[in-house]
Amino acid sequence: MTLGRRQFLGAVAASATTFLFPRSAANAIAPATHGAGLALPPVTPPGLTAPAGLSIPGAPALLPQALAALQTHHARIAERDVIGIVDFSVPSREPRFHLVDIAGGRVLSTHLVAHGKGSDPANKGWVERLSNTPGSEASCSGAFMTGPTYVGKHGRSRRLIGLDPENNLADSRGIVIHAASYVDHGMASNLGRIGRSQGCFAVSQDEISGVLQALGPGRLLFAAR
């Protein structure tokens, strides 16, 4: 999948150049106070729209939804250069976790990613339902903010904070990005699916380092079906 670099940069730069600045850069340009110590109100960034013809194949509405989430949660998402998009409308045998370089106008990489057992009870490789309920072992959708990494039973993993009503229990449910042996391209080819998680975004053990590095803390992960 290839994004049109000139189309992407033209659309994003025209509508949201200041939106993509990190907070440190924005603070250096705009004074923090006005008058006698009066704090300025927070500035809402302009709306972001995907240019015509630019989309995630098979899910044309997904990129605009992710950009809308980036705008909605701009106060929480400090780093806006790279975002992650997971397309749960695609079967698990196909790469559906996209790392998008907003600043550079391109897709960095696309990966296999597991969904939860509760989202696919019959283990068919398709997401049938999404849930935010504790104990459901289902995947949930919406906007997540990436948190710090930690080392757990699946090795180095990254915490996620749900920002929407449909995923606001993600942190307490232990929904994270981690590696798993059941996420494997050979399994996808042979069985027509990969394994299932307990609701986490599980990726290949060979690819976890790159995913965690590209999608560092303070960034957006957006999932939808």
- Percentage helix, strand, coil, to 5, in the chain? 25, 25, 50
- What is the band of 3 on the pLDDT scale with cuts at 50, 70, 90? very low
- What is the band of 162 on the pLDDT scale with cuts at 50, 70, 90? very high
Structure tokens at 52: 């015509």
Of the candidates 115, 121, 119, the one whose C-alpha atom is nearest the C-alpha of residue 130 is: 119
CATH code assigned at 208: 2.40.440.10
Where is pLDDT greater, at 46 or 138?
A: 138
Number of domains in the chain: 1
pLDDT surpasses 70 at 43: no
Determine what percent of the chain is predicted with pLDDT higher than 90. 67
> For the chain, what is the radius of gyration of the CA atoms?
18
Domain, as residue range, for 24:
5-224
pLDDT surpasses 60 at 181: yes
Where is pLDDT greater, at 89 or 24?
A: 89
Report for 33-37, 49-53, 54-58, 210-214: range of highest mean pLDDT: 210-214
Q: Is 79 in contact with 47 (CB distance < 8 Å)?
A: no
Which pLDDT score, from 0 to 100, does residue 6 have?
Answer: 44
- What is the band of 57 on the pLDDT scale with cuts at 50, 70, 90? low
- What is the band of 25 on the pLDDT scale with cuts at 50, 70, 90? very low
Which pLDDT score, from 0 to 100, does residue 103 have?
Answer: 77
| Residue 64, C-beta contacts closer than 8 angstroms, at least 6 positions apart | 49, 50, 55
The mean pLDDT value for 189-204 works out to: 98
Q: By mean pLDDT, which of 13-22, 124-133, 156-165 is the weakest? A: 13-22
The mean pLDDT value for 166-172 works out to: 98
Nearest-5° Cα angle at 60, 57 to 62: 100
The mean pLDDT value for 112-119 works out to: 98
Which pLDDT score, from 0 to 100, does residue 9 have?
Answer: 40
Which pLDDT score, from 0 to 100, does residue 11 have?
Answer: 42
Which pLDDT score, from 0 to 100, does residue 62 have?
Answer: 87
Secondary structure of residue 11 in the 3-state scheme: helix
Residue-averaged pLDDT of the chain? 82
